[in-house]
């Protein structure tokens, strides 16, 4: 998931094929999988601690969210500002 955040920061949100090619070329994940994972990371970042428990956020996702919350939300805000 850290590679996904790195890829989005370099290539941009919406450039899922480029992120896939540069960061996940050997993976079975598709560009759509990456898009969905990004969406879930953003949702987990926006969730409060109590709602995260209700949403059943996976432990691995919770660790990434804890470490990279500000970076993920900043990338998301930058993307929405462009629209």
Q: Which domain holds residue 36?
A: 2-82
For residues 39 and 26, give the distance between their C-alpha atoms in angstroms, rounded to a whole number: 22
Question: Which pTM value belongs to this model?
Answer: 0.80
- CATH at residue 15: 1.10.246.220
- Counting other chains too, the contacts that 75-81 makes at CB distance below 8 Å and 24 or more residues apart are 75/5, 75/8, 75/9, 75/13, 76/13, 76/42, 76/45, 79/12, 79/13, 79/14
pLDDT in tens, 17-72: 999 999 999 999 999 999 999 998 998 888 865 555 555 667 777 888 888 999 99
The total of structural domains in the chain comes to: 1
């Amino acid at each position: 998931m850290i590679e996904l955040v790195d890829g989005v920061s370099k290539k941009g949100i919406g450039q899922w094929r480029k992120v896939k090619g540069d960061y996940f070329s050997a993976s079975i994940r598709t560009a759509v999988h990456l898009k969905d994972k990004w969406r879930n990371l953003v949702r987990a970042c926006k969730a409060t601690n109590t709602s995260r428990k209700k949403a059943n956020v996976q432990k691995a996702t919770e660790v990434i969210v804890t470490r990279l919350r500000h970076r993920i939300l900043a990338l998301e805000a930058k993307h929405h500002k462009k629209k």
